[in-house]
Amino acid sequence: MEHEFWHNKWKANEIGFHKDETNAFLKDNLQSLAIKSGATLFVPLCGKTLDIAYLLSLGHKVVAAELNESAVIQLFENMKVNPDVSDVGNLKQYQAQNLSVFVGDVFELTEGLVGPVDAIYDRAALVALPDTMRRRYAQHLLAITQKAPQLLVTIEYDQVHYDGPPFAISQDMVRELYAESYTCEMLQHQPMPDGLKGKCEAWEAVWHLK
């Protein structure tokens, strides 16, 4: 998808994907990653998610990526943290204690910039990308994190009723993207109480890719 699509969403505050509380799936399933306090998690396409503050509160370190700079500014403002900001190639880097957020195209990130990663938490990235970008993203994610284990959240629905984003990610698609590199274990699968934006039935799934 074009970058301008997401920039316009943030400018118009059309950010229904942002939640005003920590994601329940993260709270319920983080332990499946079996990471120790002080572990580093990579959070792609993070927006201004409250999940980052939650991970930091547990003593973890977070490296994240986000296309829209205003979202990152709000992320730090909400945490009442003043970051150091620097240019890193075509990206900007916002840094504070135990948190580093890269602003720009996620495909500009390298393994060297991200650094060692113990796990990946992907609630908003894979579901935000159309099929034409999904495979490239998955391969890029594996490359820059050295195939770190993942906690992945997906949505399933009939795209005849809604075009996305968020895009439908079938169980077969998860395995197609990741089965060569991971054992794909579904931890939770449950219906969304109000469906997808009231347009159709939908289900959320939580995966441990290990």
Over the stretch 19-29, which tens digit does the pLDDT of each residue have? Answer: 789 999 999 99
- Helix, strand, or coil here: 73? helix
Over the stretch 78-106, which tens digit does the pLDDT of each residue have? Answer: 999 999 999 999 999 999 999 999 999 99
From CA 90, how far away is CA 113, in angstroms rounded? 12
Question: Domain range spanning residue 110?
Answer: 3-11+20-209
Q: According to the model, what pLDDT value does residue 164 have? A: 87
Q: How far is CA 170 from CA 126, 131, 207, in A?
A: 12, 12, 12
From CA 187, how far away is CA 78, in angstroms rounded? 31
- The domain tally of the chain equals 1
Q: What is the pTM of this model?
A: 0.95
Over the stretch 134-191, which tens digit does the pLDDT of each residue have? Answer: 999 999 999 999 999 999 999 999 999 998 899 999 999 999 999 999 999 999 999 9
Cis upstream peptide for 166 (omega within 30°): yes
Q: Which one-letter DSSP state was computed for residue 147? A: S
Q: According to the model, what pLDDT value does residue 7 have? A: 60
Q: What is the CATH number of the domain that holds 122?
A: 3.40.50.150
How does the average pLDDT of the chain come out, rounded? Answer: 94
